[in-house]
Amino acid sequence: MPAIPPTDCCAALTAGGQSRRFGRDKALAYWQGRTLLEHAALGFAPSAERLLIAPAGKYHLPGWRTVPDLHPGEGPLAGLETALSYAPAGWVAFAGVDMPRLDSLYWQALWQARTPKALAVIAMHEARPQPLGALYHTDLLPRVRALLLSGERRLRLAAPPERTVLVNGLSAAYFSNVNTPDQLTAL
């Protein structure tokens, strides 16, 4: 299966969370010989533009440009605003460091599901949309900014439903999310 076209999609990985439930910096926690940060970044390898949304100097990933979160501590919707702000015009593959199983096949499935009118492509898991680990178009930036200014923090509201493509049938393994050390052990 072909990789995401590098000129058409920017990868954005948010690693600015506080890891409160994890008890220590989960981005630096090891699983299968690599940090969660490294695992999450591997799925984006084909992307030409790669943004790591994190505090300056905290993490280093070769080939990734670190950009500061525009609203530190405000959650993934704020991270998406940062990604959309720094990305070149077009599509952004956006995920968190706590989703280490997303790979190029996952992103390819989302990429292939795009439609001409879509502004977001979001996977479904257990009949629920999974807005972290999704494709977002940079045209959503004004909407995301307006949501944040209104006090909204829910990532699932980033795109209007009528402009969102939902993708079913992806492996449940992709949606392993690591918020606690127990979840890391269970991977």
Provide the β-strand partners of residue 10: 49, 92
Band of residue 19 on the pLDDT scale cut at 50, 70, 90: low
Residue type, 136: Y
Q: What percent of the chain has pLDDT over 90?
A: 67
Cβ-proximal residues to 56 (8 Å cutoff; 6+ apart), any chain: 66, 68
Domain limits, the chain: 9-186
On the question of pLDDT at 2 being above 70, the answer is: no
pLDDT tens digit string along 118-129?
A: 999 999 999 999
Task: Give me the mean pLDDT over the 141-148 stretch.
Answer: 98
Cβ-proximal residues to 121 (8 Å cutoff; 6+ apart), any chain: 110, 111, 113, 114, 134, 135, 164, 165, 167
Chain Cα centroid distance, residue 179:
15
Closest CA to 110 of 98, 125, 100, 97: 125
Band of residue 181 on the pLDDT scale cut at 50, 70, 90: low
Task: Give me the mean pLDDT over the 116-143 stretch.
Answer: 97
CATH code, 9-186: 3.90.550.10
* Buried b or exposed e, range 103-136, using 16+ CB within 10 angstroms: bbebbebbbebbeeebbbbbbebeeebbbbbbbb
pLDDT tens digit string along 100-113?
A: 999 989 999 999 99
Band of residue 67 on the pLDDT scale cut at 50, 70, 90: very high
- How far apart (Å, rounded) are the C-alpha atoms in residues 152 and 77? 8
